Amino acid sequence: MTEAVRYEREGSVAVITVANPPVNALGLAVRQGLWRAIDRFAEDDAEIALIVGEGRLFIGGADISEFGKPPIEPYLPDVCTHIERSTKPVVAAVHGPALGGGCEVALGAHYRLAIKGARFGFPEVKLGLIPGAGGSQRMPRLTGVGPALEMMPAGGSVTADEALEIGLVDRVAEGDAREAGLAYARELLESGAPVRAVGTLPRPADDAAAFDAARALWQKKSRGEVAPLRAIDAIEAATRMDLDQGVHEERRIFLELMETPQRAGLIHAFFNDRKVAKLPEIEGIAPRNMAHVGVIGGGTMGAGIATACLLSGLSVTLIERDAAAADKARGTITANLDAAVKRGKLPADRRDATLSQLSTVTDYAELSDCDLAIEAVFEDMAVKHEVFARLDAVMKPGAILATNTSYLDVNEIAAATKRPGDVIGLHFFSPAHVMKLLEVVVADATAADVTATAFALAKRLGKIAVRAGVCDGFIGNRMLATYRGAADRMILDGASPWEIDAAIKTFGLPMGPFEMSDLAGLDIGFMTRQRKAATRDPRDVVPTWADAMYHEGWLGQKTGQGYYVHEGRKATPNEAVKPLIEAARAGRPQRSFTPEEIQRVYMAAMVNEAAKIVSEGIARRPLDVDVTLLYGYGFPRWRGGPMQWADTVGLPSLLTDIKEWSKADPYFWQPAPLLEQLVTEGRCFADLNKEAAQ
């Protein structure tokens, strides 16, 4: 086994290299290696030490896979203090990211050199934690509390130049970290630079106003997430305590957070982001070439998809039915790109060149050169059939034909072509150039390299792809239909739409289901109900008040009223909906709901449907459900996802509730067989994720 930390001499400089691929995480071997290297440096005649990271970055932080397990000595705070207490100077030369513990190791050193392209950040809150090795105590001693308050509660980072500006580093250099670091170390030696421990610098000045403002901001922003506020507490400790006490207090908060379900949920989400693309069916399969994308339809969705492709450097040919519609689509895409410039997603000087990669056309023949065509036309099977037959006629061999349908049968769409192996569903979420989720809907005949290409496309577009199978609504919208159904039933039983929205927001979602209806437009739900009417089970519940609202012309935000009356950005409950709901409730017994009951019913419906989706193979693993809800439906990341939530609250109690509710409504509350099986076997969804990884 190669050493995780190497110690070498370059004349009077001791070079300590962290070499723990892929990200030089500070696992036990690295912590032990750093400790021993500092001891060795103390004993030999080297005059200065240089710490560098091998590979593409300095240090990616603590080893996240160790979190949740009993920590083993030496602990990272002690390693940083050990570095700081060296009686001979220590320099850190940072290239690429220095995150969390990586930043803290650099702060333990006496001098910091940043190589252009370096990033210094404290992402711990994104894992439900705060810096745990003195970062919250040392950084403010160098920069004052302001920059720390900006960075730590947000989990943010700064560039090399910004780090220099705020005093986090001493110098910025170009080139190789080891070479530039050696030059800097020798220069420090020549100038007789002393040991300069950050921890011995005076405490940063307290700034009550800055702390009040940060707390007010994060109280509002964090929606139930605790770590950002606790990071502020830790920074405040630095203004009141000497280093040892402060590091102790920081560690106390860190360990307290380590025990929370929020930390477990966020780490579950971190690893899922990476596991979701690991599918045996595409492992080792090369994706097809992709440079030129055709988009069929230039409405909001088509224009959004085209924008996403252009922003990632692909050429786009967009087809519309006539020149006027094509011009309109171009206008929408231009506006999207302008907005991307404003948001800093596209450099202003790249805007025209990006737009020049777009052609808007009206003739299908112009798609003949495309590697991939994505259809985003009206959701109607006959229309889709026509489009796919035309695509089949013009697209070159080997091109991929994709549909952006959000619920239609992709097998049936593929049947309109002579090449079903090249057909796949690419379900984008609106606005497609902003939303991160891409549901990759794999049909019966879809070739493995077509699926692999869809995952590669998602990566290129900066999106997270989830594999889904064919069913009405795939993973996300099928679950949405069910938990919406649960919300509608609660309305019939006595809850108000506004109570439900409030309870769901308290749970951590950005919006409740009825606010969502107003945003999407009540016509969408109405159309869906119409579509499903012919096959609806007579025991199903129809929200007749929502139909009545549709007939009143109350379509939500776009008409100024729906469940809410919308005036500018202000939304107030629409009292006129109440009589419509009353009429629908006629004769049903009514009761009141606490916010907790609302959350419980809503979430149980979500999890029960998801368990069915997993057992049918529509989602391969529970983690695919979690990622879908996180990136497509605003599910709070700190809860990890609905399946992680279910594991946290316990599957037996959920099943007991579902069985209880099924006495009154046996049609809606049919327990998922998978849920019953897991409870019988004493297992949970995480066990299924683990089994799938083996």
Integer CA distances (angstroms), 405 to 113, 227, 376, in order: 51, 39, 7
- Number of Cβ within a 10 Å radius of residue 157: 18
Per the annotation, the verdict on 179 as an active-site residue is: no
Q: How far is the CB of 3 from ligand COA (least distance, A)?
A: 19
| Residue type at 617 in one-letter notation | G
Per the annotation, the verdict on 104 as an active-site residue is: yes
Instruction: Give burial (CB, 10 Å; 0-12/13-18/19+) of 396.
Output: exposed
Q: Which of 3, 10, 43, 124 is catalytic?
A: 124
Q: How far is the CB of 130 from ligand COA (least distance, A)?
A: 9
- Residue closest to ligand COA when measured from CB atoms: 61
Residues that bind ligand COA (CB under 6 A): 22-23, 25, 60-65, 97, 99-101, 123-124, 127, 129, 274
* 3-class DSSP state of 322: coil
Question: Helices 243-258 and 227-240, interaxial angle, to 10°?
Answer: 170
DSSP 19-56: --TTTT-B-HHHHHHHHHHHHHHHHSS-SEEEEEE-SS
Place of tokens 């007939």: 551
Q: Which two tokens stand for residue 313?
A: 């450097």
Closest CA to 384 of 397, 367, 401: 401
Vertex 104 angle, CA 101 and 110, to 5°: 150
Q: Which of 104, 225, 499, 609 is catalytic?
A: 104
Q: How far is the CB of 102 from ligand COA (least distance, A)?
A: 7
397 Cβ neighbours under 8 A, 6+ residues apart: none
- CA quadruple 27, 29, 30, 36: dihedral, nearest 10: 140
| Residue type at 558 in one-letter notation | K
Provide long-range contacts, Cβ within 8 A and 24+ apart, for 394-399. Answer: 394/364, 394/365, 394/367, 394/368, 395/294, 395/367, 395/368, 395/370, 396/368, 396/369, 396/370, 398/288, 398/371, 398/422, 399/370, 399/371, 399/372, 399/373
- Identify the bridge partners of residue 327 per DSSP, sorted by sequence position: none
- Identify the bridge partners of residue 366 per DSSP, sorted by sequence position: none
CB nearer ligand COA, residue 566 or residue 637: 637
CB nearer ligand COA, residue 122 or residue 483: 122
Closest CA to 246 of 206, 194, 196, 195: 206
Q: How far is the CB of 242 from ligand COA (least distance, A)?
A: 24
Place of tokens 């209880």: 660
Cα atoms found within 13 Å of the Cα of residue 683, Cβ hemisphere only: 14
CB nearer ligand COA, residue 131 or residue 671: 131
Closest CA to 516 of 578, 564, 549, 559: 564
Percent of the chain as helix, strand, coil, to the nearest 5: 55, 15, 35
**Cα gap 401→387, rounded to integer Å:** 10
**Cα gap 178→53, rounded to integer Å:** 9
Rg (CA), the chain: 28
**Cα gap 577→545, rounded to integer Å:** 8
Instruction: Give burial (CB, 10 Å; 0-12/13-18/19+) of 472.
Output: middle
The catalytic site residues sit at: 104, 124
